[in-house]
Structures are given as structure tokens and as C-alpha cells.
Amino acid sequence: MSQSVANIFREGQSYMNTWPVRKELYAYFPDSRVVATTKFALKTMPPMAVLACAIMINTFGLDYLPQSLAIGAFFLSLPMQGLFWLGHRSNQTLPPQLKHWYHDIHAKMRAQGCQLSSLKSRPQYRELAQLLKVAFEDVDKMFTRNWFK
């Protein structure tokens, strides 16, 4: 199923907001590093593009306008590459090892009483992100609520 580029960027933005950026996940998933880098790039690259264009035009004059615009476009493309990667990644199905891990975590969280969406037979990375987000946000609350009743 092919998607439009705008859809992929939208899904990348959604996946970036869903994925839990936790230091525990950095060693296991590149998604954590890509999310952190893309968030940083979204904040810093637009001003860097303007600054690079302004300095180049100020230093070399308007004769270098095409080169200046190319450098600005490069700086602006960096966060877009991260969003595109995240959007593509969110639609990939989990490999067999992660699929088993997803089902295991889902079952354990259900046993703890967490409110989860239904179990997917072919989970994708976006479902894993949602499950991990719930796990990091709610499992501590559920554990302490059950422990101190």
C-alpha cells in the first residue's frame, strides 16, 4: 500500500510524539535516538538555515544566492528526513522476536489491570510505541495502587 509523502510525514510526527524517549530504550531501538535528534533538528535547523543564508549572502554577496539557498534547503531538509524515517518505520511490522516480546508485554500489562487496546495479530512499530508509552506512564501507577491498597 503506497502512501503519499504528506501522510508519511504526518505519521512520522504522530510516531515521534508517541514513542517514549527513555534512556532504557536507547540501546535496543534506534527510534529513540532518531526521535531525540529529530526533535532537536526541528528546533534548531530553521534558524540555522536562515543564519547560514544570511552569513553567506553578507560575506559573498548576491552572486552566491543559489549556493546560499541550497545550503538553507539542506538545513531545512534534515528534520524532514527524520520525520520521513519515523513515518516509514511506524508502518513496518515487527520482526518475530519483537512480535513475541510485544505479545508478552501486552499480556503482563493486561494481568496488572492496565487499559490497553486490543492485541494485534501483526503488530507494527506504532502499536509497540503505544504499548511502551502506556507501560512507562501507567505501570508504575498501577503497581503502586495495587501495592498500597
Q: Rounded CA gap, 128 and 100, in Å?
A: 11
3-state helix, strand, coil in the chain (%, to 5): 75, 0, 20
Q: Rounded CA gap, 98 and 63, in Å?
A: 54
Domain coordinates of the chain in residue numbers?
A: 1-91, 94-149
* DSSP letter string, 18-34: HS---TTTTTT-HHHHH
Q: Environment class of residue 103 by beta-carbon count within 10 Å: exposed (0-12), middle (13-18) or buried (19+)?
A: middle
CA 30 distance to own-chain centroid? 10
* pLDDT at residue 148 greater than cutoff 50: no
* pLDDT at residue 7 greater than cutoff 90: yes
What's the rounded mean pLDDT across residues 120-138? 89
Between residues 108 and 52, the one the model is more confident about: 52
Q: Rounded CA gap, 11 and 87, in Å?
A: 5
Of 6-10, 73-77, 119-123, 126-130, the range with the lowest mean pLDDT is 119-123
- Whole-model pTM: value is 0.86
Residue 135: per-residue pLDDT: 86
How many degrees, rounded to 5, is the angle at CA 5 between CA 82 and CA 85?
A: 25
Instruction: Please tell me whether residue 93 adopts helix, strand or coil conformation.
Output: strand
Residues in the chain: 149
